[in-house]
Structure 1
Amino acid sequence: MQTTTIIYFFGAILFSLGVSWLLYFYKSKELKKIDYFLFSLRAISTFLLLLLLINPKIEKIETENEKPTLALLIDNSKSIKYFKEVENVEKLVSEIHKDNSLNKKFTIDNFTFGEHLKVLDSLTFLENETNISKTIKDLNELNKDKIAPIFLITDGNQTIGEDYEYLNSKQPIYPIVIGDTAKYVDVKITQLNVNKYSYIKNKFPVEAILNYEGIKKVNTLFSIFYKGKVVFKKEISFSADNNFKTVNANLTSTKEGLQYYSATLRKIDNEKNITNNKRNFSVEVIDEQTKVLILSSILHPDLGLLKKSIESNKQRSVDVFLINKFKKNINDYQLVVLYQLNNKFNKIASVLKQNNSNYLIISGTNTDWSFTNKLKLGFRKNAINQTENYGAIYNDRFLTFLQEDIGFSNYPPLKDKFGEIIFSKKHETLLYQNINGVQTKQPLLSTFDINNQKSAVLFGEGIWKWRSNSFLSSNSFEEFDKFIGSLVQFLASNKKRDRLEVNSDNIYPANSTINISAFYTDKNYQFDSRASLEIAITNKESKVVTKFPFSLVNNSYQVELENLLSGEYSFRVSVLDQKIEKFGRFKISNDHIEEHFTNANVEKLHKLAIKSGGKLFYINQLNDLTKELLENETYYTIQKSKLKQQTLIDWKWLLFIIIILFSSEWFIRKYYGKI
């Protein structure tokens, strides 16, 4: 008990006696026996009341023994069932739990894993993915302040995650190898790398990583199929020393939409597992060709230059017309180039303004500035009938789109009518005018982006000379065409941000958990957590529609779909009570990734054990493993001492006694007429 508490204790006694003495003995002329009794009641009750407030405590040292933890980590994936090791694993786990010597030395914690670490509930061996590295990391974090060696019961075949072979584990790992340890000849597609999207009529790359397990020289055929037809094939040779190949293929996307492909390796002699000889993949083919219209009042070399430069990107097409011969619908084009404006453009200018269309204006010696100024395009030029040559000065503060200086100052000057340019709308200038070596703040090329309408103006003709000069200096048109491409891409883009964005893959392995996420914003494009989202899944073959609600997880909406049959599906994500929807589709293949393995990965498990300070054992070596753990002196019981403060009084009973004493005193005083 602390010294302060003792002082309070004696102070409470003196205070209680003093208060009682003042009440019953002070200035009392005649004392009766009942006064002494009442004095005692008051002194005791007052003392107990103060004692309740003081609440005295004593310090007590308690010791407890903390056994080391043995983390039993069991592979619950389908590969265990595929290797027909279910009974052996269940028997092994049962023997570990029944081992009295292990239970006496260790506290055994039971976990399973597939894609994630879980506390053992039951062994189902139905997990579709195996992530050994993440599981061990999570377990290390869970037992970071403990002595906790890990029993890892697994075949060592990981389907997702970082390579566990190089994992740094804080705890020693003792793998118990499950599955067939014999090595069979096998060729397999280890990995396929392919872009998720491709443009129509463009080539897209496919990279296949192929492996061989065996000692003899073998030949096989790698093929890629599209709708049952071979679109790529290559003969592959393997040997014991040359057991790794990377194959690159360039396929042409010919049809718009989600296209499915399959890559295969031809079976070799005595190959036991051919499941891993096939991989499916998909590519979303997009038809987003930009159509550009060039309208001119005159014939000029710039027109051919612009067409060639813009069409250097196959996703863009250009139509060139003289203004008086144009009869098509202007709405068919994403960008209109108006070359040398005059009054013949009056009707076209009205349509562009009415439709809020994007445009590029190029002026020159034949431009009618009187007409152009009347259009009120956000700029005007007080031109005179005298021409001037304008060189280019690059503005490194231009922020509308990323454009490097490609040597603009070295390009030949452009020609236009002389005059001051005045802007009436917000603009950004990429190039300024250089007149006879004098740098000015007058624009040569400026851009506008107002009310979702994008436009630009180039004050000068003769840009064909720029492309020629670019080729002379770099032996390529690439730099200049990239500059024109960036300008066209900015001007031709009308894409608005969608309030609902959905993220999903195009193809999933059989029986896998399908994760689809969605991001929904309000009208100010701020994430809106108040919405209710729903996904409707339609099986294309059976036409069965199933609906699932999204769950709010941090700053996104998530849904997990399980137990869907193999086949093609379409889906619609809807924001309830809003007319906002997104559509997509995916395919569930017949490919079970856990069946791709022919044997247990003993090599990697052995390296993991050595690196972590553990040791590898086989399923029939449980006794050896038990002996190893029991004799290892680094796994010891820790005795911990804890200083605990224990209350000396039970406040409920003490309060009850105080009430009884004060009540008794009051009734006695009332009875004897002292109140």
Structure 2
Amino acid sequence: METSTLIYLVLAVLLSVAIAFFQYFYKIKRTPKVHILLFALKALTLFLIGLLLINPKIKTLETENIKPVLSVLVDNSLSTQFFKEDKTIRNLLSEVQNQNKIQEKFAVQYFSFGKEISVLDSLSFSDTHTNIYKAINAVNELNKETKSVTILITDGNQTQGNDYEFIHSANKIFPVIVGDTTQYQDVQISQLNVNKYSYLENKFPVEALLYYEGKERVKSTFAILQNGKRIFSKQVEFSPENPTQTVSTNLLSSTKGIHYYTASISKIDNEKNTKNNYKSFSVEVLDEQTKVLLLGSFLHPDLGALKKAIESNKQRKVDIKFIQDNDINFEDYQMYVLYQPNGSFKNVFEKISSNYLLVSGTKTDWNFINAQNLGVQKKAINQKEEYSPVYNPNFLTFLQEDIGFEGFPPLEDKFGEVQLKKEVQGLLYQKFAGVETTQPLLATFEENEKKSAVLFGEGVWKWRASSYLKEQNFETFDKFIGNLVQYLASNKKRKRLEVTSERLYPANAPITISAFYVDKNYQFDNRANLELTLTNKETKEQKKLPFSLINNSYQVSVEGLISGDYSYKVSVVNQKINAYGEFKITDYQIEEQFTNANQQKLQSLATKTNGAVFYPNSINQLLQELINDESYYTTQKSISKEQDLIDWKWILFLIVAFLSAEWFIRKYYGKI
């Protein structure tokens, strides 16, 4: 207890006695004996009130024993089961759990990991991906304030995440390697590069990267099959000095639709794992190409930027023409980009009525545009102004994410107020002079299935360059322009139910199907009940699942499907609105592509963290080393705590009791 508190308590006693004495003895000639009792009650009451206000505390010192932490990370992926090491891992885990001296010396934590890490409950060895880096990083972060060590039970084969060989860890890591460490000869398809789309009667490229692991010179045959029929083959040769080969070919798109192919490389002698000798891929063949006319009256960097962005999708072809050209056949194009129109564009607007993007700028003749009855007008003056983009998250015409629009350079246009004569959807708003407005910078118009859009400003080439500086590629910006062109070029009536899924899924991979549903006003409707009906084409087995509402879309996840071809129907309950699709689940499992445990990387990891590599038959040696390692010891931590010296509830009860007793005694003796 502090000295100041003791002083306050002494003062409280003196003050309480003084007040009570003044009330019952000061200048009173006759003092009945009852005054002594009343004096005591008053003094005690006042002292207890003072005690309650002072609230004295006492400090106590407690000690806590803190054990070092032993984190046991167990690989729960399919590759463990593929190596038939699931029983071995369970035995290893049992050895650690039954070692009493380990339990006494360490605070033992058990985790399982695959794609994610979780507290070990049970082992299924069913995770379709392995992320060793994430597992190690997670336990290091969890135990960064304590002395800790990690036992990593794994085959060392990682399919996802950063390379764990180069992880920074202040704690020792002791890998226990499970799986066959013998090096077998193996040939595999390490990567396939192929476009998702092709055009009817066109050829599409296929590039295969092949890899060989072994000590002899071998030959094999690479082939591509469709519906079990070989459509391409080539003999390849490998050696320890030349372990990689690249095979390229072009395949013909003969019929429209989705086509599935299998790439394979033939088995070599003494090859243990042939699961990685096969990979499937799919190509959707389209029967037409969108042709876009980019029409202007003068040269500008925007023309080249728009052409590059639109043609980044191989389904589209862009022709740049100038208004003075005489060889323009407007019927050859499905969409038009009209760049800074002026009076010479009069005949153009007579020949096209929709499917155009109008881009204005400092050389645009707004008096001419205002007279065309396009649904948009601008009271422009001959003065330049810079307009920065502001993303509108409520834009519903098509799905477009914010790609960092507000970080893009401003566009230039003539200053003036935009007047809209039709109902529009604004994807981007204008910001000028530091003020955000609801004036559109990029807006879409849709009336009677006729679609158009207006971009109020030149300098879009700067946006593409800015996107490249940020992303180190043009993909994000080109996708944004592609979304806009796809919307404008499509003549199809907008559907109220749009469904998105992949065409090809690896075995045991999570399958997610998303849907976007709008009401009759084409506003997103979150009140609907959507249902998925999934059918296996071979067995005819059906499965029905409800969709869940997640943000502004509906999603459903499907698990436990066997390999094969599937068709699906997405329906809106109680409405005659359906969408159909199909996909295929292949036999390919990435966790089964390894021939042996990755001893080299695990050894490197152990060396870098001052640990050591062990094997299942030496687990007791590892445990004994940890028991004998004097660098791991229990520490004591002193914790200073302040505790109240009094219980305020009892003090309050006594105050009330003493005051009540004093009042009744005074009443009884006629002192009140």
Tell me the TM-score normalized by structure 1.
0.68
Determine the C-alpha separation between the residues in 2 that align with 1:204 and 1:291.
19
Map of 1:98 onto structure 2: 98
Change in 2 beyond 3 A, CA 1:523/1:540: same
- Segments of 5+ residues of structure 2 without an aligned counterpart are 294-309, 320-329, 339-345, 359-367, 376-383, 390-417, 421-441, 455-481
Determine the C-alpha separation between the residues in 2 that align with 1:558 and 1:374.
44
> Which secondary structure does the structure 2 equivalent of 1:149 belong to?
strand
Change in 2 beyond 3 A, CA 1:168/1:271: same
Q: Is the 8 A contact 2:526 2:549 kept in 1?
A: no
Determine the C-alpha separation between the residues in 2 that align with 1:374 and 1:102.
84
Superposition pairs of residues 269-418 of structure 1, within 5 angstroms: 269-290=269-290, 334-335=334-335, 353=353, 356=354, 358=356, 376=372
> Which secondary structure does the structure 1 equivalent of 2:657 belong to?
helix
Q: Which moved more, 1:121-130 or 1:571-580?
A: 571-580
Q: Which moved more, 1:126-135 or 1:491-500?
A: 491-500
Determine the C-alpha separation between the residues in 2 that align with 1:546 and 1:586.
16
Determine the C-alpha separation between the residues in 1 that align with 2:157 and 2:54.
65
Map of 2:219 onto structure 1: 219
Superposition pairs of residues 626-641 of structure 1, within 5 angstroms: 626-641=623-638
Q: Which moved more, 1:164-173 or 1:62-71?
A: 164-173
Map of 2:610 onto structure 1: 613
> Which secondary structure does the structure 1 equivalent of 2:94 belong to?
helix
> Which secondary structure does the structure 2 equivalent of 1:617 belong to?
coil
Map of 2:39 onto structure 1: 39
Q: Is the 8 A contact 1:289 1:317 kept in 2?
A: no
The amino acid across from 1:654 in the alignment is I
Change in 2 beyond 3 A, CA 1:580/1:53: farther
Map of 1:251 onto structure 2: 251
Map of 2:76 onto structure 1: 76
Map of 2:173 onto structure 1: 173
Select the structure of larger CA radius of gyration: 1
Q: Which moved more, 1:245-254 or 1:118-127?
A: 245-254
Q: Does 1:510 align with 2:507?
A: yes
Q: Is the 8 A contact 2:290 2:315 kept in 1?
A: no
Determine the C-alpha separation between the residues in 2 that align with 1:500 and 1:246.
42
Map of 1:546 onto structure 2: 544
Map of 2:229 onto structure 1: 229
Map of 1:113 onto structure 2: 113
Q: Is the 8 A contact 1:538 1:546 kept in 2?
A: no
> Which secondary structure does the structure 1 equivalent of 2:148 belong to?
coil
Q: Is the 8 A contact 1:334 1:358 kept in 2?
A: no
Q: Is the 8 A contact 1:116 1:135 kept in 2?
A: yes
Map of 1:182 onto structure 2: 182
Change in 2 beyond 3 A, CA 1:396/1:661: closer
1:611 to partner: Cα distance: 2.2
C-alpha deviations, 1:616-658, integer Å up to 9, x for none?
A: 1111111321233234444333332222112212233333333
C-alpha deviations, 1:135-181, integer Å up to 9, x for none?
A: 22222222222222110101112232333233333432111011122
1:280 to partner: Cα distance: 1.6
Determine the C-alpha separation between the residues in 2 that align with 1:650 and 1:527.
60
1:240 to partner: Cα distance: 2.1
Q: Is the 8 A contact 1:378 1:425 kept in 2?
A: no
Determine the C-alpha separation between the residues in 2 that align with 1:561 and 1:260.
21
Change in 2 beyond 3 A, CA 1:33/1:519: farther
The amino acid across from 1:21 in the alignment is F
Map of 1:87 onto structure 2: 87
Determine the C-alpha separation between the residues in 1 that align with 2:165 and 2:350.
68
Map of 1:601 onto structure 2: 598
> Which secondary structure does the structure 2 equivalent of 1:108 belong to?
strand
Q: Does 1:566 align with 2:563?
A: yes
Change in 2 beyond 3 A, CA 1:357/1:625: closer
C-alpha deviations, 1:273-311, integer Å up to 9, x for none?
A: 212211122233444523689xxxxxxxxxxxxxxxx99
- Segments of 5+ residues of structure 1 without an aligned counterpart are 294-309, 319-329, 339-344, 361-371, 380-394, 401-423, 427-446, 457-484
| Residue correspondences, number | 541
Q: Is the 8 A contact 2:69 2:109 kept in 1?
A: yes
Determine the C-alpha separation between the residues in 2 that align with 1:568 and 1:499.
27
> Which secondary structure does the structure 2 equivalent of 1:621 belong to?
helix
Change in 2 beyond 3 A, CA 1:504/1:137: farther
Determine the C-alpha separation between the residues in 2 that align with 1:288 and 1:31.
118
Q: Which moved more, 1:93-102 or 1:115-124?
A: 93-102
The amino acid across from 1:594 in the alignment is E
Change in 2 beyond 3 A, CA 1:665/1:558: farther
The amino acid across from 2:620 in the alignment is N
Change in 2 beyond 3 A, CA 1:285/1:26: farther
C-alpha deviations, 1:448-474, integer Å up to 9, x for none?
A: 986665499xxxxxxxxxxxxxxxxxx
1:612 to partner: Cα distance: 2.5
> Which secondary structure does the structure 2 equivalent of 1:649 belong to?
coil
Q: Is the 8 A contact 2:534 2:567 kept in 1?
A: yes
Change in 2 beyond 3 A, CA 1:138/1:640: same
Determine the C-alpha separation between the residues in 1 that align with 2:574 and 2:8.
68
